[in-house]
Amino acid sequence: MNYRIHPLSENAITLYFEQKISPEINDLVIASCLWIEENSFPGFIEVVPAYASLTVFYDLVELINQGYKSPFLFVKSKMQEIPFESLKTGNKPKNLIEIPVEYSGEDLQIVGRHSKLSEKEIIKLHTEPEYRVYMMGFLPGFAYMGGLNQKLATPRKKKPRLKVPAGSVGIAGAQTGIYPLESPGGWQLIGHTDKKLFDPSDRKLSLLSTGDYVKFKAV
Amino acid sequence: MTTVQDLGRFGHQAKGVNPTGAMDHISMRLINILLGNDENEAVIEFHYPTPTITFEEHAIFSIGGADFSPSLNRKPVANWKIHTAAPGDMLTFGKKQKGERAYLSVKGGFKLPKVLGSSSTNLRAGFGGLKIIKGMSLDLNLKNGTLFEASKKIALAPKTVNVALRPYIKNEQEIRIIGGAELDSLDQDSRNKIFGQRFIVSGHSDRMGYRLEGDCINRNSESEIISSSVAFGTIQLLPDGQLVILMADHQTTGGYPKIGNVISTDLPFLAQLSVGQHITFREISIDVAEKIVLKQEKEIKKFKASVKLYS
């Protein structure tokens, strides 16, 4: 297995697989995270998946207090123990989440002009794919998704909006995404969903997780 | 801006929840230890111009971090010491002596619900902790009887935080970093620019990150970076050739080349720097970084033990 391990800080280590955006590598990331969680160790805080890497956060002070001479070498060795070749990937049932969207976004016309497509065609192309969630980040509950039809790719707004409402569905470059919270942002807004993407009082916290699939449904 | 912060909200970064927490985590820990609190007890982080704080209950408190010339009922009170306040007492601040972020901790802590295990304020997501504005009041965990019980012991405790432990604040700061994942992809000229020049902390600096100003650094590589986790202290090279250091309110992931990460013992220096001040970078190995942290933790442990003797 090809990978590279690099300290992110003295409290975190990142393991990089081949730096490529693919469901196979992302599956490997998710399976590795699961293995780490199931084989936790002293000082372990959390493991965070990204597109083609995972990062383990650990409590350096706790490890020092427990007598570990080099917490970095200790945690690195734990990450090297991941049985990459025998990890079960890909045979998990697909977690497909349907998100109802009202396609009435303020920037629908901009996307239309850029893509030379009608509103109807934009909606058709946007609701067609099953988008894969490759990574969570940017905001709590925000999913970086892959699979946007390249005909819909539209550059960000030159001047970001100061307030994009929660639930806004947008396009930025080759990506599509949903704002889980009100936030400033430069995405071209094409629609809105009433689904709650992030709720700190809910046990699940976030509607979406890395590895999930999303299908938009026009309402 | 005045917020409630602790050591941060960890365990939910996989869902994009950024940890937030105190910018100068060492100052915050030290005054909590001084008061016999849990090190992670939530404190108030405040900036200049400062708030005025009126005590509605008896309280035992300590201030650390930046020195904004605190006074209690117009009588000067020193940072890093234990003070008592009675109902009606007023805590005000005067001249900004040094530093940018001060911390107020009370014995027993503030009565605040924890969200996902932390009382830190997530300003961007709008949950947890509290963004304090004029007129708000905070409840205390220890009042009257229980507080007086606690205060009997505290009178005997060490009355101050050792000078050597307090983050040393000066005008030009050498910041030690460990190399980042993309540091090796830079050529010698770019490396020289990172480790050979003084950077200015720009006006675009806040709890999310500090933008630095310096000679433009080129990354002579076409290879695109795929986003991955970042941390408090991650230094990223932006497309315009300038550096940004991610601070306490950073988001969980980043897609710019990682030059390095500021070691945790030096984050408080950064937290206390003002716009316009200078920093330089020095690269150290992860091994040396761990030894530096170990040394500091030993000293903090000793201080903690000296407080524990009395409580």
pLDDT per residue as tens digits for the range A25-70: 999 999 999 999 999 999 999 999 999 999 999 999 899 889 898 9
For residues A151 and A50, membership in a common domain is answered with no
Here the CATH number for the domain that contains residue B234 is 2.40.100.10
- Is the minimum CB–CB distance between B10 and chain A shorter than 8 Å? yes
For residues A48 and A131, membership in a common domain is answered with no
For residues B154 and B19, membership in a common domain is answered with yes
Out of A21, A51, A86, a domain closes at: A86
For residues A40 and A127, membership in a common domain is answered with no
Number of domains in chain A: 2
The pLDDT value recorded for residue B16 is 97
The pLDDT value recorded for residue A88 is 75
Cβ <8 Å between B178 and A50: no
For residues B13 and B127, membership in a common domain is answered with yes
Q: Cβ contacts (< 8 Å) between A184 and chain B: which residues?
A: none
The pLDDT value recorded for residue A45 is 98
Which stretches within chain A are classed as H helix?
23-38, 60-65, 71-80, 108-115, 119-127
Nearest to A137 among B116, B226, B251 (CB): B251
Number of domains in chain B: 2
**How are beta strands B258-262 and B234-237 bridged, if at all?**
antiparallel
Q: What is the 3-state secondary structure (H, E, C) of B144-207?
A: HHHHHHHHHHHCCCCCECCHHHCCCCCCEEEEEEEECCCHHHCCHHHHHHHHHCCEEEEEEECC
Out of A62, A86, A110, a domain closes at: A86
> pLDDT 10s per residue in chain B (311 long)?
999 999 999 999 999 999 999 999 999 999 999 999 999 999 999 999 999 999 999 999 999 999 999 999 999 999 999 999 999 999 999 999 999 999 999 999 999 999 999 999 999 999 999 999 999 999 999 887 777 777 776 666 677 888 889 987 777 789 999 999 999 999 999 999 999 999 999 999 999 999 999 999 988 776 778 999 999 999 999 989 999 999 999 999 999 999 999 999 999 999 999 999 999 999 999 999 999 999 999 999 999 998 877 65
The pLDDT value recorded for residue B162 is 85
Say which residues have a Cβ less than 8 Å from residue B78's Cβ, sequence separation at least 6: B70, B160
ipTM score for this prediction = 0.94
Out of B117, B138, B166, a domain closes at: B166
Here the CATH number for the domain that contains residue A9 is 3.30.1360.40
Out of B119, B146, B166, a domain closes at: B166
For residues B194 and B161, membership in a common domain is answered with no
State the residue range of the domain holding B160: 2-166
For residues A68 and A21, membership in a common domain is answered with yes
State the residue range of the domain holding A209: 96-218
Closest approach of chain B CAs to the CA of A110, in angstroms?
A: 26
- As a whole number of angstroms, the distance between CA B222 and CA A173 comes to 19
For residues B13 and B77, membership in a common domain is answered with yes
Nearest to A14 among B124, B229, B233 (CB): B229
For residues A39 and A134, membership in a common domain is answered with no
The pLDDT value recorded for residue B147 is 79
For residues B52 and B187, membership in a common domain is answered with no
Cα Rg of chain A, angstroms: 20
The pLDDT value recorded for residue A112 is 96
For residues A170 and A115, membership in a common domain is answered with yes
- As a whole number of angstroms, the distance between CA A65 and CA A42 comes to 11
CA neighbor of A133 nearest in space, from A50, A57, A32: A50
- List, for residues A111-167, the tens digit of each pLDDT value: 999 999 999 999 999 999 999 999 999 999 999 999 999 999 999 998 889 999 999
- As a whole number of angstroms, the distance between CA B240 and CA A182 comes to 28
Closest approach of chain A CAs to the CA of B187, in angstroms?
A: 19
How is residue B197 written in tokens?
């020049």
- As a whole number of angstroms, the distance between CA B271 and CA B207 comes to 9
Out of B133, B166, B199, a domain closes at: B166
Tell me which of B311 and A76 has the higher pLDDT: A76
Cβ <8 Å between A49 and B14: yes
* Residue A90, pLDDT above cutoff 70: no
- As a whole number of angstroms, the distance between CA A169 and CA B98 comes to 45
* Residue A185, pLDDT above cutoff 80: yes
> Does the CA dihedral A75-A80-A81-A86 come out positive or negative?
positive
The pLDDT value recorded for residue B155 is 65
For residues B208 and B281, membership in a common domain is answered with yes
Residue B84 and residue B59 in contact, taking contact as beta carbons nearer than 8 Å:
yes
